[in-house]
Structure 1
Amino acid sequence: MSKDTNPKDALISAAYADVNKFANNREFDKAVKAVNRILGVAPDDATALHCKVVCLVQLSKFEEAHKFIEKNRLSSSLIFEKAYCEYRLNKQLQALKTIDDAGVQPLPANLKELRTQILYRLERYEECLDSYKDIIKNTSDEYEDERRTNLSAVAANLALDKNKDVPEVPEETYEQYFNSACIQSNRQKYVEAERKLRTSEKLCREFLEEEGSSEEEIVEELDVIRVQLAYCLQLQGKVKEASIIYADCLRHKPKDVALVAVASNNSVVINKDQNVFDSKKKIRAALAEACDAKLTSRQKQIIAVNNCLLALYTNASDQVQQLSQKLAQTYPQVEFESVLIRCSQLAKDKKHKEAIVLLQKFASSHQSLEFVTKFAIIQLQLQQGNRKDAIETLLSLGEAKYKPGIVSALVSLYQGTNNTPAASALLKSAVEWYKQNNVSSGDLSDMWRQAAEFHLRGGAPETAAGSLEELLKLNPNDMKVLAQLVIAYAKFNPKRALEMSRKLPKLETLTTASEIDALEAANWVMSTKAAKKSAGKIEPSPSTPADKKRHNNRKRKGKLPKNYNAEVGPDPERWLPKYERTGFRKKRGGARGKDVIKGSQGMATGAADQYDMSNRVNLSKQSPATPVYREEAAPGPRQQHRKGGHKKKKGGRF
């Protein structure tokens, strides 16, 4: 070393050489130590300060890097580094303010892309889309595919709003296929989304295998695609397949906390009120603080609602009230859902009055949701068995009470309270309202038909005729309605009934000659099946020989017993069991067919034959030349047991 060389410069030069070497080797912790040697000699060296900030960012020490920038007053010179640290620290608004307050116009490429990414995190998707379009149009480098992938991700989030147009996205890489599938699923086209996701899964494995990735890295990347696939399957009703995929993904223990949160939440939805302990464990994973920065506000809102519902399923009253109130404060857009959850728990606790008061209070402060809220109130009133209050609430809906469904509900409630005149008056007013306002609310045929039948039964043919007229306008060719209209007019306007009856089809047009012949040929004594069978016989074709004899099976006469006498009628007791017939004698004491006569004490046993009247025969009524035959009744079905029939097996079926 020459004498003219400054030791300070030599130290700085050597330290910079070390910094360059360590940075190229990605050893940023050693690079920081080398930079500190420079700053120890020259604390105001701008290059060294910048190098240290970059090294800290590369080491993911964003908080330390941000403090270092603030301490050394480098905010004006290191705008990108400061904004990037704030972006990584999830201080999105602060990062956007840092860029916008810098006053740099036009923004350089790195700041423009960082600002676009910040807009995406802030969920300002429309601004983000315009910014990406501008960047893609004015930039051409090796990161073009990544920008198009980010553009498709923005489009997928915009697809949640059906009223917004979504730009066409390319489908070249597996990431672009994935985002395209997300667009389809957000548009509720789950079959198409499933197809694209399976393509994305295949391309992902092929790409990563070509890159030389390990199986763990491939599985970690595939899990993102497979969880989205499970979501599409779940919404198609293929719950078992989706549940298997979620369980498989969670078993891999992915590093992406957002993926864990989504899979856990969707598993809780599948469980519903089953596997409560498993659901509690998974909902805690979805609500972890680490997930807060990774999830969108929509995802966090859905998880919070599901947490309230899980508490409702477990019947934890206090927890339901606390969680639902917190849900309404955090996400005002789902305040109505939180109120419904609270009211459901109150109804479970038999506190219907408190629930009704809560809903009435909500309806008074939210006029736009008053209509829906009143239906919840009606449900609680009916659970109480309070039909009168339910009727009053329905009537308070104004002109909406004339909607077909509400009219039907009111008529049912009126009939349930035995107030038929009120139901009739309601139907009359509904018919008049539709006539006066000429309102066409979809298919009103069911309402007109029910109103007509109700008024015909209730003795109001004029009102019934009005309803039938409206029903006939909807379907002029309905002959059943026309016939009912004739019947209604016949009760109060015979001339009009005669005019309408002329529109009915003639009798000749309703029947054909073949039908008349079949009716005449049918044997009315036969059963319905036999009549149909005889009417359905096919006439022989002309080619059939007419002289061909038919072989009919004749019924053979039944055989009669040898001693059968046609002049003597059958025994009227032939169908009774033997023990119920008058001539039956029980077998007692060893004597066959005879009862032992028991008399008073001292009676001789020989006197039994004297008092046994069964041996006496009435000769005046029965001729000895004509034997009497008493027909035995055939045993009924319940007595016809087969010999050696099936035996019952112990404990089994027979």
Structure 2
Amino acid sequence: MSSSVQSLATLLKQTDIEDHEEVIRAADATLKQSKGDLEAQHVKAVALLKLDRYGDAVKAIEAGGAKLKDRARLEYAYALYKDGKSAEAAEIAREGSERGYTHVEAQASYRTENFARAAELYQSLASDLEDDAEADLRINSGAVDAQLEWSGQGELARSKKPGRADLEAFETAYNAACGCIARGELGQGEVLLKRARDLCNASEDLSDEDKQAELLPITVQQVYVLSRLGRLEEAETLSKNVDARGIPDASTRHIAQVNSTVASSSEGNPYLAQRIVSKDLDTLKPDYPFQFQAVVLSRNRYSSDLQSLKFGGTADSTKASISKYPSPNTDVVCNGLSVVNAAAHARRQAGKEALKQILPVLEKRPTDVGLVLTIVQLYVSSGNAGSAITLLEGLLRRLEQSVKEADLDVRYAPGLVGTIVSLYHSQGRRGHGQRELAKAATHWRRKTKERPAGVVQLLKAAGSALLESSAPDHQKLATETFTELHNIDPEDRYTAAGIIAASPQSATSSQTSSLTAIDRLISGVDAASLESDGLAQPPTAPGVTIASRKRPAEDTKPRKAKKTRPSRIPKDYDPSKTPDPERWLPLRDRSTYRPKGKKGKARANLLSQGAAPTGESDGSRPGTPGGEVVKAKQQGGGGAKKKKKGGR
């Protein structure tokens, strides 16, 4: 064995082999003589990695046994990562202590969507650069921050706003753009994508072929942003410049095809679109999309099914998927499936017609959060906020009565609490909203370790709302909430200001040290000049003046009488005569009005007090009978007298 090792080592030293295929042939020749030659096995594995034959490298290392795995542990971890087995790669790399192992574990953690661990590893690498390029670590860290935003863990991101260093290279500009898009800042994301495109085109280190390869994902992302912004014509024009068949990454290629289909302004054939978006994602491995991408692609597939009128199949498939999740829950995927399931039952109906089809489904799944929120949205859109509040209160009441701690976490989930509080405020029921926030704050203050995303924002909102309440227990809860949040993050100015607003007497200097001192805030303010200047005016453009808001002094000069225009003077107008003061009244309402004819005179007599109409008044109202007639009716009953029988 030693002679074979010496022969291989001598061969590699004496020759300058640049073709890795020749290295593999030399290693194979040595292994024919000695199958257990670790040196030859190791050389062959490295050559396979150089040729990007990662699957063959994994097989070669595994065939070498435990000794080769221990000797080529770094190569084995890297080969597993490149072969799509990221979880195994991260586990093996975690056992190593060298810097190379940290790089492999960080990349494998990123691919397994353990972005928090990846961010921690890249932060440790950036603290001590050694031989690593700072720009490369900044690029990788920016990609991790973007994925943290996409996965709902934005609070762990290293930076929220793009810095000047992010605009120096197209890779960092692209990562910063992805972070903005994940946060919903589509306008800023579009600007950064254009910056990344310009930097890529201007790069002198890339060939034209490399530039085209780098521009493809940037263009695909631009098509997505333009579609989200509603600029479909621009998105369609840009998507025509993308040759999806030339994208090497399978998941990016599929996303480019889907975005191109969505960006198309023409309705087209829904069945053809369904064929494009309904591709099985398992066929994309090892370049399979991330979880948040898979969720969106799945929704696209269901939307295409609904456009193709496949209501029954969509309802059945989503129902089967929903049954795999515990109920109730706040999982984004599960609740998204509930929305699609409701749309399938609605059969492209909206408003009250959709409610008729969806409400029976709620009887079967009364704790389905996604279904309840869908119905709430339908109620609100139809102007029936009262029914929406009643429905959501029923769900919260059922969850509150549960003995499971997980159900209580769902009941006080930030999204549900925010929805019911918003509905209360829309109806002017602020007291109900304050009580709801108080209960949510009390619940989450008991659970300091297991808090989902959004709880900190919920506690801040609860503290601010409770400050407006006059109840002493609400004021106390607001003080305790802000104090707890400030202890977690002493640099948070919002909580420090909340402590002062809730209890200024008990606020300490350590709690208020992060706030700007009052003396500094008012150091440049001249109270005397402000008082003399009067009411402050809004800023105006140069050359534009605003009239003073002060009331002008009373004008004591006699005013000239206005002349009446000739067109407004009547033809028979005589300036020497006094105008009739009743000229504005209708003719019949004037004191000088005298009716003519029999009907007019009868009408005038009728309106006179105590007068009775004459017999000649045709069509007039009959007069009131005299007293004698009324008396006779009271005595005789108003009927004719009957003849008496004879003989008596």
TM-score range, shorter chain: 0.5 to 0.7
Counterpart in 1 of 2:256? 263
Counterpart of 2:185 in structure 1: which amino acid? K
Q: Is the 8 A contact 2:77 2:92 kept in 1?
A: yes
Counterpart of 2:240? Answer: 247
Give the deviation of 1:49 after TM superposition: 1.6
Q: Trace 1:51-90 onto structure 2 (pairs within 5 A).
A: 51-73=43-65, 74-90=68-84
Distance 2:27 2:431 in 1: 90
The answer to whether the 8 A contact 1:136-1:144 is kept is yes
Q: Which residue of 2 aligns with 1:47?
A: 39
Q: Is the 8 A contact 1:328 1:334 kept in 2?
A: no
Distance 1:81 1:96 in 2: 12
Distance 1:235 1:191 in 2: 10
Please report how far the alpha carbon of residue 277 of structure 1 lies from its aligned counterpart in structure 2 after TM superposition: 4.0
What is the aligned residue count?
Answer: 421
Unaligned runs of 5+ in 2: 326-330, 398-416, 439-460, 465-554, 571-648
User: Could you say if the C-alpha distance between residues 404 and 365 of structure 1 is closer, same or farther in structure 2, counting changes exceeding 3 Å?
Assistant: closer
Structure 1 residue 187 and structure 2 residue 174: aligned?
no
The change in CA–CA distance for 1:53 and 1:291 in structure 2 (over 3 A counts) is closer
State the partner residue of 2:228.
235
Deviation at 1:307, TM superposition (A): 0.6
**Structure 2 Cα separation of the partners of residues 363 and 522 of structure 1:** 77
Matched, 1:274 2:273: no
Q: TM-score, normalised by structure 1?
A: 0.54
Pair 1:361-2:364 in alignment:
yes
Per-residue deviation, 1:206: 2.2
Quote the residue 1:333 is aligned against: 332
What residue is the counterpart of 2:107 in the other structure?
A: 117
Change (3 A) 1:178 1:395: closer
> Within 2, Cα distance between the matches of 1:99 and 1:293?
21
| Aligned equivalent of 2:342 | 343
CA distance in 2, matches of 1:295, 1:402: 35
Deviations 1:411-448 (A, max 9, x none): xxxxxxxxxxxxxxxx9xx79989999x9999xxxxxx
Which residue of 2 is the match for residue 319 of structure 1?
Answer: 313
Q: Which amino acid aligns with 1:230?
A: V
Counterpart position of 1:617: none
Give the distance between the partners of 1:128 and 1:311, measured in 2 at CA: 37
Counterpart amino acid of residue 139 in structure 2: T
Structure 1: runs of 5 or more not aligned = 1-7, 410-426, 443-511, 528-654
1:38 maps to which of 30, 38, 56: 30
Distance in 1 (alpha carbons) for counterparts of 2:260 and 2:324: 24
Query: Once the two structures are superposed, what CA deviation does each residue of 1:335-388 show, in whole Å capped at 9, x if it has no partner?
Result: 22222222222222999777433223333255xx585255268599x99xx999
Q: Would you say 1:217 and 2:210 are equivalent positions?
A: yes
Distance 2:287 2:247 in 1: 17
Partners in 2 of 1:342 and 1:403 — Cα distance? Answer: 26
Deviation at 1:87, TM superposition (A): 1.3
Counterparts in 2 of 1:141 and 1:365: CA distance versus 1, 3 Å = same
Give the C-alpha shift of residue 57 in structure 1.
2.4
Separation of aligned partners in 2, 1:153 and 1:196: 14
User: How many angstroms apart in 2 are the aligned matches of 1:244 and 1:316?
Assistant: 31
Contact 1:257 1:290 in 2 (8 A): yes
Matches within 5 A, 1:208-607: 210-211=204-205, 213=207, 215-250=208-243, 253-271=246-264, 274-275=267-268, 276-284=270-278, 287=281, 289-290=283-284, 293-325=287-319, 328=322, 333-348=332-347, 355-364=358-367, 366=369, 372-375=373-376
Residue of structure 1 in register with 2:196 after alignment: 200
Could you tell me how far apart the structure 1 residues matched to 2:82 and 2:130 are? 26
Aligned in 2, Cα 1:77/1:165: closer, same or farther, shift over 3 Å?
Answer: closer
CA separation of 1:364/1:66 partners in 2, compared to 1, >3 Å: closer, same or farther? Answer: same
2:138 aligned with 1:148: yes
Higher relative CO (CA 8 A, sep ≥ 6), structure 1 or 2? 2
Offset, 1:71: 2.9
Question: Is the CA contact (8 Å cut-off) linking 1:87 and 1:118 kept in structure 2?
Answer: yes
- Percent same amino acid among aligned pairs? 19
CA distance in structure 2 between the aligned counterparts of 1:390 and 1:523, rounded to whole angstroms = 65
Q: Distance in 1 between matches of 2:69 and 2:3?
A: 30
Separation of aligned partners in 1, 2:389 and 2:4: 92
Task: State the TM-score, normalized to the length of structure 2.
Answer: 0.54
Question: RMSD of the TM alignment (CA)?
Answer: 4.9
Q: What one-letter code is carried by the residue in structure 2 that aligns with 1:129?
A: A
Shift of the 318–192 alpha-carbon distance from structure 1 to 2, 3 Å rule, reads same
Per-residue Cα deviation, 1:459-479 (whole angstroms, up to 9, x for no partner): xxxxxxxxxxxxxxxxxxxxx
Note if contact 1:22-1:31 (Cα within 8 Å) is conserved in structure 2.
Answer: no
Aligned to 1:166: 158
Alpha-carbon distance in structure 2 between the residues aligned to 1:436 and 1:199: 48
Determine the C-alpha separation between the residues in 2 that align with 1:435 and 1:75: 62
One-letter identity of the residue aligned with 1:181: A
**Following TM superposition, by how much is the alpha carbon of 1:175 offset from its aligned partner in structure 2, in angstroms?**
0.9
Distance in 1, matches of 2:388 and 2:132, equals 68
CA distance, structure 2, for counterparts of residue 299 and residue 436 of structure 1: 38
Distance change (3 Å), C-alpha of 1:236 and 1:79 = same
The corresponding residue for 1:93 is 87
Secondary structure of 1:248's match? coil
Instruction: Look at both structures and tell me which one has the larger radius of gyration over its CA atoms.
Output: 1
After superposition, the C-alpha distances for 1:15-54 in whole angstroms (9 at most, x for unaligned) are: 44555688841x2222212111112223332211211211
Aligned-residue offset at 1:406:
8.2
